[in-house]
Amino acid sequence: MSITLLPAVQAFLQRDHGLFIDGRAQAAGSGRQLEVIGPASGEVISRVGEAS
| Predicted pLDDT at 11 | 92
Q: Which stretches of the chain score pLDDT less than 50?
A: none
* H-helix or E-strand spanning residue 12: helix 7-14
| Predicted pLDDT at 37 | 94
| Predicted pLDDT at 1 | 67
| Predicted pLDDT at 52 | 81
| Torsion angle defined by CA atoms of residues 40, 43, 49 and 51, in that order, rounded to the nearest 10 degrees | 60
